[in-house]
Amino acid sequence: MSGIRVNEWLHNSGTGGIWQTSAGNVGIASSVPTTKLEVTGDAKISGVTTATSFLSSQGQLSHRRINMNGAMQVWQRSTSASSTGGSNGYFAADRYRSSNNGSGRHTISKDTDTPTGEGFGHSMKIDVTTAVASPSANNYNFIQHRIEGQDVAQFAKGTAGAKQYALSFWVKSPKTGVHVIQWEDVENSRSVQGTYTIASANAWEKHSIIFPADTSGGISCDGSHRMQLYFWLFAGSTYNDGNVNSLGTTWASTGSISRASGQVNVFDNTSNNFYITGIQLEVGSVATPFEHRSFADELARCQRYFYMIADGSVATGAAIADGRFLGATEVDFMVSFPCTMRSTPSLYQVSGADYFKIMYAGYNQYVDGNWTIQYAQPNGCSHYATPDATGVADKPAQVILQNSAARLGYTADL
């Protein structure tokens, strides 16, 4: 046949055009196609694509999302924690830690305000209740997500094959302008920062940040706290000189000014509400669509870090466990956790007068104070407490949650 051109560009756009080899291989922006079709660069197909299989050269097709509870589905501790800011910790949404320095206070709550049509049921709302219009030098507030070393091993950090980090999320901020995200290697005290710029206040926007690979600072593949994300909400002059050019956008030792410079003040007014959902951290240079998970899947992942066995706001009169009187003045019970926790957990409790009932042989007694954890390990533990009246040694008993404010859980978070 005449007119078939091979081993040359079929379009006069040069290296950006189409190339066909004598073997019938076609390259788009590639003059050395080794398969029937080879594309250098991105390809966009509006219709359905089928194949015998799809082989991803970077990342993976499922389980791409490394962070947990990114769609704000799981709130075991509380769906609303008010006046937070006096201490740092996990108060509401599972796996998202709140840190504050200064007089700023806020309520963290589970909200149904979400970006339309994206399939999210909930967001995390930060409602500023005590504003910090003029932060002192050391004042700050950020949301943090901490990750075990073994869950970031796929980034190959500290090796020649280190991978990029793709972070994406939906956010609705009361402030236009620059917002900062810090990605920190806790093990080697190294950080890199990225920014997203809010164009319209109080409107949902999707943003993504691609953090560079880091060939320095290897991460131990273990269950310890090794890397963490910071979503900065405001920062005083120690961390923020007001100039985004001071921000460290390449990996370096964790500094101060380099961490949050340019960050707007989300806490400058008590009318401010900040929302976030759809957080996804994954391997690679591209932020892929959010990987939704079932509630059961996300809850199970979160229970490695926190397990609420009884919550009075959900059900009073709820059974916790079988127990017994070890002696006349001590009642004990044991619990097995639904999954192996990250470490031996702490006992998390909200207790008070008659918050827990000890029921045996037609008698009711109550625990007024705190339970003490004993013989604990990552799969279960024992507890003991002194009831408010003398019981009968060796009597079996049921331990019942008795007050709507009572809580009993286990925390092994990072």
By CB under 8 A, residue 414 contacts another protein = yes
**Residue number, 177 or 327, with CB nearest to another protein:** 327
Under 8 Å between Cβ of 234 and 268: yes
Of 370, 380, 395, 398, which one interacts with another protein (CB under 8 A)? Answer: 370
Annotate each residue in 69-108 with x if it binds another protein (CB under 8 A) or - if it does not, as one string: -----------------xx-x-------------------
**Residue number, 280 or 351, with CB nearest to another protein:** 351
CB of 308 to another protein, least distance (A): 12
Compute the distance between CA of residue 204 and CA of residue 410 in angstroms, rounded to an integer. 35
Compute the distance between CA of residue 228 and CA of residue 147 in angstroms, rounded to an integer. 6
**Residue number, 120 or 348, with CB nearest to another protein:** 348
Compute the distance between CA of residue 182 and CA of residue 85 in angstroms, rounded to an integer. 20
Q: Burial level of 3, CB count in 10 A (0-12/13-18/19+)? A: exposed
Compute the distance between CA of residue 178 and CA of residue 104 in angstroms, rounded to an integer. 20
CB of 362 to another protein, least distance (A): 28
Compute the distance between CA of residue 216 and CA of residue 138 in angstroms, rounded to an integer. 29
By CB under 8 A, residue 413 contacts another protein = yes
Tell me the window of 22-30, 68-76, 185-193, 342-350 that interacts with another protein (CB under 8 A).
342-350
By CB under 8 A, residue 350 contacts another protein = yes
DSSP assignment of 240-294, as one string? --S-GGGS--S-EE--SHHHHTT---TTS-TT-EEEEEEEEEEESSS-PPP----
CB of 348 to another protein, least distance (A): 6
Of 101, 114, 272, 351, which one interacts with another protein (CB under 8 A)? Answer: 351
By CB under 8 A, residue 232 contacts another protein = no
Helix (H) or strand (E) holding 295: helix 295-302
**Residue number, 90 or 196, with CB nearest to another protein:** 90
**CA-based torsion, 113, 114, 116, 119: positive or negative:** negative
Tell me the window of 33-41, 124-132, 237-245, 370-378 that interacts with another protein (CB under 8 A).
370-378
Pick the closest to residue 367 from 412, 394, 329 (CA basis). Answer: 329
Under 8 Å between Cβ of 283 and 164: yes
Of 228, 346, 364, 398, which one interacts with another protein (CB under 8 A)? Answer: 346
- β-partners of residue 205 are 171
**Residue number, 106 or 175, with CB nearest to another protein:** 106
Count interface residues toward another protein (CB under 8 A). 29
**Residue number, 343 or 364, with CB nearest to another protein:** 343
Which pair of tokens denotes residue 68?
Answer: 């947990």
CB of 144 to another protein, least distance (A): 13
DSSP state of 89: B
By CB under 8 A, residue 306 contacts another protein = no
- Going from the C-alpha of 377 to that of each of 36, 337, 411, the distances in angstroms are 57, 10, 12
CB of 341 to another protein, least distance (A): 10
**Residue number, 288 or 343, with CB nearest to another protein:** 343
By CB under 8 A, residue 402 contacts another protein = no
Under 8 Å between Cβ of 403 and 365: no
Tell me the window of 118-126, 177-185, 218-226, 279-287 that interacts with another protein (CB under 8 A).
218-226
Residues that bind another protein (CB under 8 A): 86-87, 89, 223-225, 342-351, 370-374, 376, 381, 384, 407, 411-414
